[in-house]
Amino acid sequence: MKNNPLVEKGHDKGQERVIIYCFFALGLVILELLLLDSQWKSDALFHTILESIAAVLAILVGTVALIRFYSRPSNIFLFLGGGFLGTAFLDAYHAVVTSSWIYSYLPSIPATLIPWSWIASRLFLAIMLFVGFLAYLKEKKQGEEGLINPGAVYLWTTLFTLMCFVVFAFVPLPQAYWPEWHFFHRPQELLASLFFLLALIGYLREGQWRTSVFHHWLILSLIVNLVGQTVFMPHSHELFDAQFDMAHVLKKVSYICVLVGLLINMLFLYRQADLSTRLQHEIQERIRAEEKVTIANKQLIAIFEGVDDVIYVADPQSYELLYVNPTFKKIWGEQPLGNKCYKSLQNRDSPCPFCTNDKIFGEFLNQSYIWEFQNEVNAQWYRCVDKAIKWSDERMVRFEVASNITEQKLAEQERVHYRENLERDVKRRTRELNLRTQELEQANKDLEGFSYSVSHDLRAPLRAIYGFVSILKEEYEEKLDQEGHRLLQIIVDNTHKMGRLIDDILSFSRASRLTLQYVDIDMNALVKEVWEDLEAERNATEYQLNCSNLPDIKGDKNALRQVWQNLLANAIKFSKGRTPAIIEVSAEFNEQEICYRVKDNGVGFNQEYSDKLFILFQRLHSMDEFEGTGVGLALIKRFVQKHGGKVEAQGVLNKGATFSFILPK
């Protein structure tokens, strides 16, 4: 049987309830039998009180029923509500009307008024209960569509009660008591009984009373109503006797039964509502949690789908692919999951020999194992990060993220290639350089040997010429005439010259081969030293040396001494005869270099020929004018260049010359 939402669920208590019903019915009958000979008699006041209580109870029941109805619409409660409210009015009316103060105003006598007003109330309730049962069936069959419009019920209730009031107010009522009938002295009561019976039969057959507490109490109430209405009331002889009063009391009992049933039903309803609310909350929470999970899921999926790297998960024992990301599919095709990883990725028929599963499940457990390899299917290079991870079903699986590094790999290979080529080139060049160096060293050595030869071998014949010419001059002086002397003198002079030339060449060659030994040089002291050494040359003229404060510098002392020697010797030589002969030595410097100058006021030179000055053996004067071999300036240039510096010369004919050399700091 479908879950009937109209009533609270319960266990099948049918068997025990049947017993209760029988017990009740029987009990009530026995009660009547016991009261058969009772001499009880009450009065109108008692009756009024009873019926007032009844009215109040009926209002209560009706209200509760309607509250129940509006909690969750259902026909049965509507009819109960309407029925009991109507009954309340009729009971009230019945109570009032039996009061001694009122009935005097009414056209009927109490003996008729009381029973008929009683009947009105009972009949109304019985009809309502019966119709209520029919409406219950309708709703059961049709569901929500079977709901009766409350307005109709209220209208019927109001009309009936009003009609009763009107009738009782203006119509004299017929007889209500037939004492001649054997048992049923008030047969009109049986009409109400009929409807009670019909309703009772209906509900009993319907069967909900087995599981629903409300229905159970409703049936109890109906039994009480039926018995009361069938057995007690019709049997009452007169007003206020035992049966009469008991019927009234049973009426209230029946009301109370309905009330109990309603209250229990409402209790269940509240419980259900409460449960339902809680369930709703739980469901909402679940939904929210699910949404969160869904969002998180979506995000994760978005990330995994968005990544360019290849990501896959495979079972380490069966090698089946458990998850592949879209990049994987793009490269190796739409593989249904479950394929072997070695088949999909490497197109092999058995596990790859280089599989890293041993590592990630062994020594590298809980770490990432990073390696590079070239895929056999698409020939791309990948940097793989492998790790053993826990899958959703708690087993440890193989997880790999592979980044395509083909470009970098190729670039790397190119670089290696390039570097190898470079190294080869460098090796070759080095070899060549070494060879050249060897050649140069050899040449240098040869040169050294050469100059050594020059030292010795060129000198010796020169010395011989010199010596023997002198001896000739000495021994055969008288035998020679003037011409003879002159000729001899020419020989001697040329010999001198040759000697000086040899010396100069030697100096120059040594200057070229010189390895500079850098020391801190006090230039002032050096210039002074050189000037004093040149004293012999300075004998002919008064020389004035103006030497300003020269900055120190790092350089080869011997080389720079020779530089100063040559410069000052030149200055002296070329300003011979000047009065006064002024030689100025000065220096300028900036952050990178120092420029030393020697200025004289001698014969100077034509600036046009300045570029010839520093060339070996080049002279701007003939031997008659000034002696010299033309080596001095070339020597200076060579020395200065060796220091990484340069030379300069400015001259004005007959005014003087300035020679400068610039050395880096």
Partner 1 sequence: MNMEEGQMDILLVEDNPNDAELTIRVLKKNRLANHIEWVKDGEVALDFLLGRKAYQERDISLHPKVVLLDLRLPKVDGIEVLKTIRATKALKDMPVVILTSSKEDKDLVAAYDLGVNSYVRKPIAFDEFSKTISELGLYWLVINNKPD
Q: Which residues bind partner 1 (CB under 8 A)?
A: 452, 455-456, 459-464, 466-471, 495-496, 499, 506
Among candidate residues 569, 577, 588, the one with its CA nearest the CA of residue 660: 588
* Minimum CB distance to partner 1 smaller for 375 or for 495: 495
Q: Are 308 and 327 in contact (CB under 8 A)?
A: yes
DSSP string, 126-181: HHHHHHHHHHHHHHHHHGGGGPPPHHHHHHHHHHHHHHHHHHHHHS-------TTS
**Min. distance of Cβ 630 from partner 1 in angstroms?**
20
Q: Are 248 and 40 in contact (CB under 8 A)?
A: no
* Minimum CB distance to partner 1 smaller for 13 or for 459: 459
**Min. distance of Cβ 467 from partner 1 in angstroms?**
4
The beta-strand segments (E) located in 505-645 are: 518-521, 543-547, 553-556, 581-589, 593-600
**Min. distance of Cβ 452 from partner 1 in angstroms?**
6
**Min. distance of Cβ 497 from partner 1 in angstroms?**
11
Q: Are 548 and 587 in contact (CB under 8 A)?
A: yes
Q: Are 524 and 601 in contact (CB under 8 A)?
A: no
**Min. distance of Cβ 471 from partner 1 in angstroms?**
7
Residue 238 CA from chain centroid, whole number: 93
**Min. distance of Cβ 477 from partner 1 in angstroms?**
14
**Min. distance of Cβ 478 from partner 1 in angstroms?**
18
**Min. distance of Cβ 615 from partner 1 in angstroms?**
25
**Min. distance of Cβ 555 from partner 1 in angstroms?**
20
* Minimum CB distance to partner 1 smaller for 395 or for 463: 463
* Minimum CB distance to partner 1 smaller for 468 or for 518: 468
Which tokens sit at 596? 């030393």
Residue 157 CA from chain centroid, whole number: 70
* Minimum CB distance to partner 1 smaller for 333 or for 461: 461
- Length of the chain in residues, anyone? 665
**Min. distance of Cβ 581 from partner 1 in angstroms?**
28
* Minimum CB distance to partner 1 smaller for 31 or for 498: 498
**Min. distance of Cβ 561 from partner 1 in angstroms?**
16
Q: How far apart are CA 60 and CA 71, in angstroms?
A: 16
Q: Which 8-state DSSP code applies to residue 566?
A: H
Scanning 43-101, the segments in alpha helix (DSSP H) are: 44-71, 75-97
* Minimum CB distance to partner 1 smaller for 505 or for 649: 505
* Minimum CB distance to partner 1 smaller for 434 or for 470: 470
* Minimum CB distance to partner 1 smaller for 358 or for 446: 446
Q: Are 176 and 111 in contact (CB under 8 A)?
A: yes
Q: How far apart are CA 85 and CA 91, in angstroms?
A: 10
* Minimum CB distance to partner 1 smaller for 182 or for 456: 456
Q: How far apart are CA 318 and CA 483, in angstroms?
A: 124
Q: How far apart are CA 190 and CA 199, in angstroms?
A: 14
- Helix H or strand E segment including 370: strand 369-374
In the chain, DSSP finds a helix count (H) and a strand count (E) of: 17, 12
Among candidate residues 12, 362, 473, the one with its CA nearest the CA of residue 207: 12
Q: How far apart are CA 22 and CA 33, in angstroms?
A: 16
- Helix H or strand E segment including 321: strand 321-324
* Minimum CB distance to partner 1 smaller for 38 or for 470: 470
**Min. distance of Cβ 517 from partner 1 in angstroms?**
13
* Minimum CB distance to partner 1 smaller for 2 or for 456: 456
**Min. distance of Cβ 501 from partner 1 in angstroms?**
11
Which amino acid is present at 266? M
* Minimum CB distance to partner 1 smaller for 263 or for 469: 469
Q: How far apart are CA 649 and CA 567, in angstroms?
A: 11
Backbone torsion region of residue 466, taken as left when φ is above 0, otherwise alpha when ψ lies between -120 and 50, otherwise beta: alpha
Q: Which 8-state DSSP code applies to residue 238?
A: S
